[in-house]
């Protein structure tokens, strides 16, 4: 089953390669969407894919890359199919 989620990730998540870590995780799992830094220091992620792939992707972004510290992850349901193909860093 295809699902989509939007994530707002806070902590030490900018300046540590978090966006590229998320991009690599998404490509590994076949997840479509995007990732971007927000002006308030958080990172926003939109992800669309098979439920199991999204679950594995989410486990990765909850951990983050070496040097990151993920304090909180807000998760919102989104509309599957709205994120195109591939995964991009914005």
Mean pLDDT across the chain? 95
pLDDT of the residue at 38: 98
pLDDT of the residue at 85: 79
Active site (annotated) includes residue 62: no
| Domain range 2-82, CATH class | alpha beta
What pTM was estimated for this model as a whole? Answer: 0.94
Domain ranges of the chain: 2-82
pLDDT of the residue at 82: 67
Active site (annotated) includes residue 69: no
Q: Which residues of 17-36 are buried (b: 16+ CB within 10 A; e: fewer)?
A: bbbebbbebbeebebbbbbe
Q: Given pLDDT bands bounded at 50, 70 and 90, which one contains residue 71?
A: very high
One DSSP character per residue, 52-88 reads HHHHHHHHHHHH-STT-EEEEEEEEE--TTTT-SSEE
Of the residues 2, 37, 66, 69, only one is catalytic, namely 37
Of the residues 2, 19, 36, 62, only one is catalytic, namely 19
Residue identified by tokens 């972004």 is 61
| CB-based contact 30:24 (threshold 8 Å) | no
pLDDT of the residue at 79: 84
Length in residues, the chain: 90
What is the mean predicted confidence (pLDDT) over 18-43? 97
């Amino acid at each position: 089953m295809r699902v989509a989620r939007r994530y707002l990730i806070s902590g030490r998540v900018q300046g540590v390669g978090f966006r590229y870590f998320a991009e690599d995780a998404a490509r590994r799992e076949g997840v479509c969407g995007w990732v971007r830094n927000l002006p308030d220091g958080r990172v926003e992620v939109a992800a669309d894919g098979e439920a199991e792939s999204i679950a594995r992707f989410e486990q990765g972004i909850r951990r983050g890359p070496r040097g990151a510290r993920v304090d909180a992850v807000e998760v919102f349901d989104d509309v599957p199919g709205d994120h195109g193909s591939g995964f991009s860093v914005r």
